[in-house]
Amino acid sequence: MTADQMAALHAAAFTQSRPWSAAEFAALLDSPHCFATGDARAFALVRVIADEAELLTIATHPEHQRQGLARSCMADWMQQAASRGAAYAFLEVAADNIGARALYERCGFATSGQRRGYYARPDGPAVDAIIMSRALP
């Protein structure tokens, strides 16, 4: 996927918050520590440094949600991260993103921390970030 394709999909999927720009995706993809998995329907962007993998973002186009694509991306990035030497994975998710939190729990992630008022909301109070983590196989 190109940075432009990722930005377009991210914008379609993230209507409640600021989507990432193509320039932001390009800068991350230029890093030797980052990789993406997925396709034009769903993708995950991950950074691996030392033995830690961080899910930077995951997005599924609204027309393709509830088809198992995000779960497939999750399994794929965790396998790739482990093959790059990561032993531990973490991510952060908005406390009010119930669907994503359920996905991460089904993929073996558990809450390991919280950042109060982390996500600004234009029409309401800021929402906490939930930090989730798991060991990689």
CA 22 to mean position of chain CA atoms? 16
Residue 83's contacts (CB-CB under 8 Å, 6 or more residues apart) are none
Residue 17 pLDDT > 80, yes or no? Answer: no
Beta bridge partners of 121: 124
What CATH number did the domain enclosing 22 receive? 3.40.630.30
C-alpha 55/C-alpha 48 separation (Å) is: 9
C-alpha 57/C-alpha 27 separation (Å) is: 14
Long-range contacts of 35-40 (CB under 8 A, 24+ apart): 35/77, 35/80, 35/84, 36/1, 36/6, 37/73, 37/76, 37/77, 37/80, 38/1, 38/69, 38/73, 38/76, 39/1, 40/1, 40/5, 40/9
pLDDT single digits (tens) 35-89: 999 999 999 999 999 999 999 999 999 899 888 999 999 999 999 999 999 999 9
Helix axis angle, 3-13 to 22-29, nearest 10°: 130
Question: Per the confidence metrics, is the pTM higher than 0.85?
Answer: yes
Number of domains observed in the structure of the chain: 1
What's the chain's Rg over C-alpha atoms? Answer: 14
Q: Where in the sequence is the domain holding 78, given as residue range(s)?
A: 3-135
Give the 3-state secondary structure of residue 114. strand
Sign of CA dihedral 29, 130, 121, 42: positive
pLDDT single digits (tens) 76-129: 999 999 999 999 999 999 999 999 999 999 999 999 999 999 988 878 899 999
